[in-house]
Structure 1
Amino acid sequence: MKIEAIILDWAGTTVDFGCFAPVNVFLTVFEDAGIKVTLEEARKPMGMLKIDHIRTMLEMPRIREVWNEKYGRDFTEEDVHALYMQFESKLMESLATYTDPIQYVTETIQQLKEEGIRIGSTTGYTDSMMEVVTSHAAAKGYEPDFLVTPTQLGDKGRPYPYMIFKNMEAMGIQATKQVVKIGDTTSDIQEALNAGVWAVGVIIGSSEMGLSEEEYMALSEEEQQFAIEKTARIFKETGAHYTIRTIKELPALLEKINERLERGIVLA
C-alpha cells in the first residue's frame, strides 16, 4: 500500500502566489456596493466556491451589521447573486494575469509524474474561470492529469468531499489512504478531512499567509519564520496531518507517508 495520487488546489497552491486574483476582486465588489471589507475578512472563506464565499462574507457579523446600516435591511439571495455576477465579470477580466506557476511547482510535479504518481486537482473556481487558468498555466509548464470544479458537481464545492472523490474515480484510485490533498486554505484541509484522505497545507505563497511574493521576500528571515509558523499552526489547528513550506518538500513527505502506510499506520 502506497500513495498513488496527489490532489492539488490551484490559486495559492500551484499558481498565483498569495492567491491575489480573487481577493482583489472581493474587495472591489464589496467596496462598489458601499461596504468596506478588510483583507482578513475577504480571505477567511478562501477555497470555497466563489458564490458561497460571498454569502459567507455577508454572514460575518461585522459585515452584516454594516450592510444593514447602509441598506436598512438584511442581505438577500438576490444580493448574493448580484455581487457574484459583478465578481465573476471582474475576475474574468484579470484572471489570465494570475496564472504563473509558483516556485518549484512545475519541476516537482513533473518529477512526481515520472515516478508514476497521478496528479489531480480541485478548485473554488467555476468551469469558465478554470478554462482561462488551465490554458495559461499549461502554456507556462503546469498541467495536472485531472481537474474537478464545483460546477461539475451541482456547485457542491469545499468543504464537501465530492471533488476529491470524482478525482479518485477518474484516476482509478481504490483507497482514500492512497491519496494526499494539498492546499493553501483551511477549506482545502476541511475538504481533505471530509474525504478521508491525507490533508497537507502548503505555507509559502498561500492565501492563509496572505503575502505577495514581493512582500514575503522583503521580510527578514526572522519575520519569514514567524509568518511560516503562524500559518502552519492554523493548518494544524484545522486538522492538517502535515504542512510543507513549499511544493519542493512534497516528494520527501510522500516517502514519509509511504513509510507509515508500510508499517500499517493509517490516517488519524
Structure 2
Amino acid sequence: MSFAKQRSEGQAPASELRLAVLDMSGTTVTDGGLVEEAFAGAVAPEGVLRGSERFHTMLEYFRENMGLSKISVFQNLFSDSPEKAERVNRSFEQGYDQVISAGGLQAIPGAEATIDHLRSDGIKVCLSTGFARHTQNSMLESLGWMGLADLSLCPADAGRGGPYPDIILTAVLALDLADVRQVLVLGDTTSDIQSGLRSGASLVVGVRTGVHTEAALRVAGAHDVVPSVAELPTLLVG
C-alpha cells in the first residue's frame, strides 16, 4: 500500500509501506493515568513524597519522558545511585503490574480495528513499548492482544528504547523488510517521533491521545498528527 501523504522537500521518495511500528501506552492503549500512581508508589519509599517540590519535579520529568525506557527514566532521576534507580524501577514495574492485573488497561477506541486494517492491507504491525518485557506481555495478555500484531518489542529486545531507533530497526530486521523507508511509525510522545525520524522511516505520525501536545509532536518533527490511532487508515488513503 502506498501512502498518499507527500514527504517534505528534500526527503527520499515515499516507498510502499510494509511495516507499522505502533507505540502502546498513550497510542493504542490507555491506563487512565494510573501509570502516574505506580510512579508515586515507587518513589515514595525513597522519601519522594506526593505534594513535595521534588515529587512535582520528578513527575514532570516522568511525564515529559514517557516515551523513554522506564529504567532509563529512573536512572536519570536517581543518577547518584544506580542501586536506587534499579530498586525504584522494580517497584514501579510491580505497581504497574498490579494496575494491569486489576484490569486498569483499555484499548484506545479503534486500535484493534486499525491493526486489523493494516494487516489486511499487507502491512505488518509491531507493537512497541518502553516497559520491560514481562510488563509488555502482561499488557498484551490483559487486552487479549496476544497474536493481534506480527511482533511486539521492548527496549530489552532491541538494546535501547526511545529516542533511539533500535526498536524500529530491530523490527525491520526481524520482519525481513528490504528498506526502512517501508516503515510507518505512530506514537504519542516526542521520543516516539525522534525514534521514527532517526530510523529513517518514511512516515512518522503523532497522535493526540497521549501526554504530549500536537504542537510538541510537530516541533519534534512529526510528518503529521492525527486525533487517534483510529484515524490512521484515513490518513494513509487521504
The runs of 5 or more residues in structure 2 that have no matched partner are 1-14
Alignment of 1:22 onto 2:35: yes
Other structure's SS at 1:121 match: strand
| TM-score after normalising by structure 1 | 0.74
Alignment of 1:161 onto 2:165: yes
2:88 to 83, 95, 100: 83
2:121 to 115, 121, 142: 115
Q: Report how far residue 157 of structure 1 moved.
A: 1.4
CA distance in structure 2 between the partners assigned to 1:86 and 1:111 by the alignment: 37
CA distance in structure 2 between the partners assigned to 1:79 and 1:28 by the alignment: 14
| TM-score after normalising by structure 2 | 0.83
CA distance in structure 2 between the partners assigned to 1:125 and 1:21 by the alignment: 14
CA distance in structure 2 between the partners assigned to 1:99 and 1:113 by the alignment: 23
Q: Report how far residue 28 of structure 1 moved.
A: 2.3
Other structure's SS at 1:147 match: strand
2:75 to 55, 64, 79: 55
Instruction: Please tell me whether the aligned partners of residues 15 and 98 of structure 1 are also in contact (alpha carbons under 8 angstroms).
Output: no
Instruction: Please tell me whether the aligned partners of residues 39 and 92 of structure 2 are also in contact (alpha carbons under 8 angstroms).
Output: yes
CA distance in structure 1 between the partners assigned to 2:34 and 2:21 by the alignment: 21
Match for residue 196 of structure 1? Answer: 200
Instruction: Provide, for residues 71-95 of structure 1, a one-character-per-residue CA deviation record: whole Å limited to 9, x for no partner.
Output: xxxx311221121122122222222
Alignment of 1:179 onto 2:179: no
Q: Report how far residue 233 of structure 1 moved.
A: 0.5
Alignment of 1:133 onto 2:139: yes
Q: Which has the larger radius of gyration?
A: 1
Letter of the structure 2 residue corresponding to residue 29 of structure 1: A
CA distance in structure 1 between the partners assigned to 2:90 and 2:206 by the alignment: 30
Other structure's SS at 2:30 match: coil
Letter of the structure 2 residue corresponding to residue 104 of structure 1: G
Alignment of 1:143 onto 2:143: no
Higher strand share: 2
Other structure's SS at 2:161 match: coil
RMSD of aligned Cα (Å): 2.0
Other structure's SS at 2:130 match: coil
The runs of 5 or more residues in structure 1 that have no matched partner are 60-74, 209-230, 257-268
Match for residue 236 of structure 1? Answer: 218
Letter of the structure 2 residue corresponding to residue 84 of structure 1: N
Higher helix share: 1
Letter of the structure 2 residue corresponding to residue 128 of structure 1: H
Q: Report how far residue 17 of structure 1 moved.
A: 5.2
Q: Report how far residue 149 of structure 1 moved.
A: 1.1
Match for residue 100 of structure 2? Answer: 95
Count of paired positions? 215
CA distance in structure 2 between the partners assigned to 1:91 and 1:124 by the alignment: 13
CA distance in structure 2 between the partners assigned to 1:235 and 1:90 by the alignment: 29
Moved over 3 A (4+): none
- Seen in structure 2, the aligned counterparts of structure 1 residues 142 and 233 have a Cα distance that, compared at 3 Å, is farther
CA distance in structure 2 between the partners assigned to 1:153 and 1:180 by the alignment: 18
Q: Report how far residue 245 of structure 1 moved.
A: 0.5
